[in-house]
């Protein structure tokens, strides 16, 4: 029997249709339909200046909006062959890690909601508020910050802001260990999560899984290692696990939150005085840039003529993660409720995923299944 869930369903955050092939309560396999929130942002951006596009890039994703502006700015900086001042780079790191903290907390709390542990859901969400407050103090707004520009950041952080951020992250750190322990040591919670929705390393490679989902399956791959700021100024080593089940994915995110807190402290320690923004003469040409967003790799491919964006293509991590979730995680799952929890553990973000389609020119067919490529 095929059990459809969605597109509008309380179990899902965003519109998407999940078709579960079931035999009794057991889920044999799953299919996923996209196409409910396609917005055509890339097309809107064409023919606009970067000053307008950077605000639109922020609205690609509703949760990890920050990383899009940074990647956009760094792509244009690569075309123009300049680099932001060191202070701006480190301020970008601080905001990026704060954004990662709130995104991981949101993903984990959604997972706890999916396994019906409402206490942890509320606990983790209230912990997320501290991260949101810190972002609001630094940049002015909670989600769409408008903080990055090509050549640096928009506003300088004063000492009171940095002190407030340190205070907020110490508040997070105080409770983080306890909540992680509730999840990892709690017998029922652990039982509900271990060995559910398992994805092996080979399957993760085949499904091109990225971010915490790939790292929980044993892919030690984090683009922050290759980023110049992290490489030059910060001590960083990616966190990864071998199990590849729901438990590993959730714990990987909790561990990355602790690492992000450490990275923010390091960045504030080495933060130098100086300019936060350089004037950039926008060059013309084509460039690609990749960054590690909370969900994985974000890639921007931009072609400009020196003033206007001629062509832009955005690759977001969720599309690979959701597809590998449908193909490999939702396979022989014991119950339907476990299938929904597995889907939530893959941290799907539909709004930014709606951009892939494979068009067969000869046959005139369009499909969204990237694994049946010939």
Q: Which residues are annotated as a binding site for Ni(2+)?
A: 61, 64, 349
**Least distance between other proteins and beta carbon 305 (Å):** 14
> Which H or E run contains 2?
strand 2-5
| Identity of the residue, 157 or 209, whose beta carbon is nearer to other proteins in the bound complex | 157
**Least distance between other proteins and beta carbon 155 (Å):** 6
Q: Which residues are annotated as a binding site for Mg(2+)?
A: 42, 314
HSE-CB for 322 with a 13 A CA cutoff: 26
Q: Which residues sit at the interface with other proteins, rule CB under 8 A?
A: 48-49, 51-53, 55-56, 59, 136-141, 144, 146, 149, 151, 154-155, 277, 279
| Identity of the residue, 12 or 132, whose beta carbon is nearer to other proteins in the bound complex | 132
Structure tokens at 368: 């969204």
Q: Which residues are annotated as a binding site for Fe cation?
A: 64, 352
Q: Is the dihedral of CA 117, 118, 121, 123 positive or negative?
A: negative
In sequence order, what are the beta bridge partners of 149?
Answer: 152
Structure tokens at 358: 């494979």
* Rg of the chain, C-alpha, whole Å: 21
**Least distance between other proteins and beta carbon 374 (Å):** 41
| Identity of the residue, 114 or 138, whose beta carbon is nearer to other proteins in the bound complex | 138
As a whole number of angstroms, the distance between CA 330 and CA 69 comes to 33
| Identity of the residue, 19 or 59, whose beta carbon is nearer to other proteins in the bound complex | 59
Instruction: Give, in order, the Cα–Cα distances in Å from 211 to each of 16, 99, 368.
Output: 21, 15, 22
**Least distance between other proteins and beta carbon 141 (Å):** 6
Structure tokens at 53: 């596009």
| Identity of the residue, 59 or 315, whose beta carbon is nearer to other proteins in the bound complex | 59
Q: Which residues are annotated as a binding site?
A: 42, 61, 64, 314, 349, 352
**Least distance between other proteins and beta carbon 51 (Å):** 5
| Identity of the residue, 119 or 141, whose beta carbon is nearer to other proteins in the bound complex | 141
DSSP assignments along 153-201, one per residue: ESS---HHHHHHHHHHHHHHHHHHHHHHHHHHH-HHHHHHHTTSS---H
Structure tokens at 351: 């709004």
**Least distance between other proteins and beta carbon 353 (Å):** 22
């Amino acid at each position: 029997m095929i059990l459809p869930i969605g597109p509008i369903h309380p179990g899902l955050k965003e519109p998407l249709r999940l078709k579960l092939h079931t035999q009794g309560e057991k889920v044999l396999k799953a299919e996923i339909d996209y196409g409910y929130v396609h917005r055509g942002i890339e097309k809107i951006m064409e023919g606009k200046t970067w000053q307008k596009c950077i605000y639109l890039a922020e609205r690609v994703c509703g949760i990890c909006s920050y990383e899009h502006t940074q990647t956009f700015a760094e792509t244009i900086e690569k075309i123009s062959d300049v680099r932001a001042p060191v202070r701006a780079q480190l301020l970008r790191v601080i905001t990026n890690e704060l954004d990662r903290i709130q995104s991981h907390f949101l993903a984990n709390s959604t997972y706890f909601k999916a396994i019906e542990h409402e206490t942890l859901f509320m606990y983790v969400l209230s912990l997320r508020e501290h991260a949101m407050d810190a972002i609001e103090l630094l940049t002015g707004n909670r989600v769409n910050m408008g903080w990055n520009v090509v050549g640096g950041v928009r506003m300088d952080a004063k000492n009171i802001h940095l002190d407030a951020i340190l205070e907020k992250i110490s508040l997070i750190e105080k409770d983080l260990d306890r909540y992680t322990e509730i999840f990892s040591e709690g017998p029922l919670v652990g039982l509900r999560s271990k060995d559910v929705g398992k994805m092996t390393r080979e399957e993760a490679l085949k499904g091109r899984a990225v971010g915490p989902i790939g790292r929980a399956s044993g892919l030690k791959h984090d683009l922050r290692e290759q980023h110049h700021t992290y490489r030059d100024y910060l001590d960083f080593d990616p966190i990864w696990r071998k199990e590849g089940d729901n438990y590993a994915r959730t714990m990987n995110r909790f561990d990355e939150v602790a690492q992000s807190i450490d990275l923010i402290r390091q960045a504030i320690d080495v933060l130098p005085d100086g300019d936060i923004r350089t004037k950039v003469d926008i060059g013309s040409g084509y460039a690609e840039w990749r960054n590690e967003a909370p969900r994985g790799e974000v890639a921007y491919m931009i072609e400009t003529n020196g003033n206007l964006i001629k062509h832009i293509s955005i690759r977001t991590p969720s599309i690979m993660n959701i597809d590998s979730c449908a193909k490999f995680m939702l396979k022989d799952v014991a119950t339907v409720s476990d299938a929904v929890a597995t889907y939530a553990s893959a941290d799907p973000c539909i709004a930014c995923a709606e951009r892939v389609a494979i068009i067969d020119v000869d046959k005139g067919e369009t499909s969204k299944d990237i694994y049946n490529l010939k």
